[in-house]
A and B are shown apart, each in its own frame.
Chain A
Amino acid sequence: MTPREIIIKAFELGKPERVPVTLFGGGMWSIKDYGTTFEELAKNVDKNVDMCVTEAEKIRSDVVYVGSGFNNFHAYALTKKYGVNMKYREIGAPDLTDHVVHTEEDIAKLDINDILKEPVVQGIMDATRRVKEKIGNKYLVTMTCWGPYTLAARFVGEEPFMKQNFKKPAFVEKMVDFCADLLIKLYEPLVNDGIEALSIADPTASGDLINPKQMERFAVPALKKMSDWAKSKGVYTILHICGDTSDRLDMFLKTGCTVIFFDQKVNIAKAKEVLGGKMCFGGNVAPVHVLLNKSAAEVEQACKEVIEIAGKDGGFVLVPGCDIPPTISYENLKTFHDVALNWRY
């Protein structure tokens, strides 16, 4: 079986020949390892394709994420006409200089079609197609995005957005729903060209930030809208939400997504109890505490523990609890992957 076939079997709750394994994103690690920058990749699609292919063979994750670290361009595409810029930095992903959506009238001014007109977004989409062409038979190739709740907060600004959860809930609902439509618009041409999965990170819907009711009201319906659309097109939805969501595990079933990659704070045994046999899930080796700070032998031990607890019945993927710092050693990253690649069911 190819890595792609292995992870798809787990997505469909089966037990493949080995434990599936992947990073979530990994853009910053790859950029550092390859020796390039976000700014360079934004302008050079050939280089982006070569980096993704080269790093895929080196890292050996079952999933290859194109565009990791470029998600903010999705909000930029619609707001640059209102004076928003992108800022490149020495450390960290490029980010918006401003937030310009404050009211329902502001939402009405946004043009959903602008998402496909932004050259950097076009470049990432082009790179996704080309990476898929080169290694899509071996690996599951996807493009990354923020989840609708997080993307909405990027347009509005996180702190005011959180307060609007109370002050103007109808505005929040409308903005999040708009973002779901925007993301569907973004993925549609890729899915038509054979991209098989959406990769959604929704960190602002973190279990450490909003309560279960807020998640259910504001974040889940938009995720469901995306996953329903993906299902209608026969493609998978990979979801990651940060923070401790142990108190709302059933909510992930309501998102309709194919797989949820859990944060390291989630009790993975409890996650298995709630989701086992119903929804594929992944977890949750601590990216800093273990992958960055421990020895290779300790990484191996930690990975084995997670598989022993949650991964023995299939429908499971070994993943770090969040995206990884670019300073993790290759030795530890290799060990993390080796544990799953060598784990026969």
Chain B
Amino acid sequence: MKQTHFKVRPFLLVGLLLTLLTVLSGCGDNLAQQDVMARVERTNRITWGVKNDTRLFGLMNIKTGQIEGFDVDIATAVSKEIFGKDVNVKFVPVTSNTRLPLLKNGNIDALAATMTITPERKKEIMFSDTYFNAGQAIMVKKGSKIKSVKDLTKGTKVLGLQGSNSVANIKKYAPQAKVLQLADTAQAFTALKSGQGDALTSDNGILYGLNRDDPKYQVVGGTFTNEPYGIGANKGQEKFVQAINKALKKIEADGTYQQIVDKWFGKVAGFDGSVIK
């Protein structure tokens, strides 16, 4: 008796787990497939995924409890342009790792989260036109021997973000370096400070934001890739993406866009990611 009890249980458990997960994975699709345009018109509420740990783009202000940054302002401006001034704009924090699953599961309607338009991501979601031109760079402690990506040779350790394409790039540009991937920007910067890596790689805008927190670190060597940021929406949301593109053109034409750029990047010397030029 006892023996059969023994043998059956693992299979039963695994089977149960499989069934549960199959059921669960089937659930998320509905909300993501609903037409965002129609739903927001009806509920007057749109949900954006933004970063909340990235200064200049999306950072949680602890005093106000609000997420603030370039991405947040762009998302707000675009939403108001499409759905009118009174639309409720809600922000959900995402990381590089969670942003696509959250979008695809329908937890959020759109993404403005320092996300580069890449062919791989285009297979999964839709992108708007570019709303910001970033480029990948590296940041090191002041006085470090590493002056550019070329100095990341054998024996050096580079910190990066899980799910960002900067880690894929760094493997191309510095194939000898060991890449350590952390969950978010804040963690990666803390790891750099405590000496877990020799350099931190990410998009220049993000690095300049970190630099502001702590001037003992500096961005070196300039950018070595182009990272055009786009707003992400689910597949099948053609109408929504068209509306976003129209709204982007509108805020670029009426000066709102440049105001937002100046507000966040006006004081960052030698850096301009504005798409109007």
Answer yes or no: are A and B bound together in one complex.
Answer: no
